[in-house]
Copies of this chain bind each other. A is one copy, B any other.
Amino acid sequence: MVSWILSAGVRRVSSVLRRFSSVVSAGSARSGSGCQERLCPPLLSGDVDRFGGVTVRDFPPDISEDEFSELLRVSLSRWRSDGRVAAWLHVPIALSRLSAAAAHLGFSFHHARRDEAVLSLWLGPGEDRLPAFATHQVGVAGAVVDESNGKVLVVQDRNKTTNAWKFPGGLSDLGENIGETAVREVFEETGVRSQFCSLLSVRQQHNHPGAFGMSDMYLICRLSPLSFRIDFCTQECLRCEWLDLTELAKTSETTPITSRVARLLLYGLENGFQNIDLTMEQMPAVYSGRFYQLYHRRLPETP
């Protein structure tokens, strides 16, 4: 049964692929093995990257699992003999059956987003040296400190069993800077407008609940208020207050990390925030013309 399907499948590969001659011929033309093109078996066409991996993005849209399996098997054999170290398949969600076929030949999911899955297979010598996909979600909280009276803006989550005071915050959207997340989340949760001053702390936690088995990087920023009237989000928060930093630093109605950062802020308030801040600077990336944000202790001005 299986062999019949396979055999029928192989035949159909040829006819399907004749219809997708651009897909095939690019692969065949690139192979350069010297065989006459009509005698070469059809191959998937891919782009070779500078690391020696091949990436396939075009697939015949009505190819069956079995047909694709045979096409991929032949292509893998060629890529291996050509010394390719890895194969990447960018499979549109509508063609997901091809991912099942690829899995039979050793591929696994590298990642998937929205309407595309990316599968990979290491073909080189030794162990898999492919770079992994993103491993961390990034959460940011904002400690808005009113220097005029030593108060800080805190909330209690609606969804938690223990109602502990904490700084408003939440997950960064893709592409959002740390400080942007802090300012946005503070406004969404409390109605208070603020601006970014510095980074105060970094927490790393693995296997984080709610991170789908991945890790969490949680950053707390110091913000300064631009408005003071609280209009908090009742969906997310049970309470929201401007609380004395001295009180937050000693209350047991808070989380260990909030308590720690409250003490840090209190020290900064009394001795200067330069003692606790990591300042941010925007710098140009070498290769791309884009910018990145660098945070570290402020250096004294060079003379």
Contact = CB atoms under 8 A, between A and B. Distances in A.
B118 A212 contact: yes
Contacts of A284: 256
Contacts of A277: 297
A283 interface: yes
A174 B208 CA distance: 12
A136 B136 contact: yes
A111 B108 contact: no
Interface stretch (A12-20, A27-35, A238-246, A258-266): A258-266
Contacts of A135: 134, 136-138, 172-174
Interface residues on A, range: 35 or more
Nearest to A201: B296
Interface string A280-291: 000111111010
Interface string A208-229: 0111111101010000000000
Interface in A42-79: 65
A276 B275 CA distance: 10
B111 A116 contact: no
B299 A267 contact: yes
B199 A290 contact: no
A133 B212 contact: yes
B99 A96 contact: yes
B293 A203 contact: yes
B111 A113 contact: yes
Nearest to A202: B295
Contacts of A217: 136, 138, 217
A183 interface: no
Given A136-B217, A296-B201, A93 B111 contact: no
A104 to B, nearest CB: 8
Contacts of A215: 134, 138, 174-175
A203 B299 contact: no
Contact of A93 (B103, B261, B288): B103
Contacts of A93: 99-100, 103, 108-109
Contact of A205 (B138, B173, B292): B292
A171 interface: yes
Given A111-B113, A118-B212, A133-B134, 18 more contacts: A96-B117, A103-B115, A111-B112, A111-B212, A133-B137, A133-B214, A135-B136, A136-B137, A138-B217, A175-B207, A200-B297, A203-B292, A205-B285, A256-B283, A260-B296, A264-B296, A264-B299, A297-B297
Interface of A: 65, 93-100, 103-104, 108-118, 131-138, 162, 171-175, 177-178, 199-207, 209-215, 217, 219, 255-257, 260-261, 263-264, 267, 275-278, 283-288, 290, 292-297, 299-300, 302
- 6 smallest CB-CB distances across A and B, nearest first, come from A112-B112, A109-B112, A201-B296, A205-B292, A96-B99, A96-B96
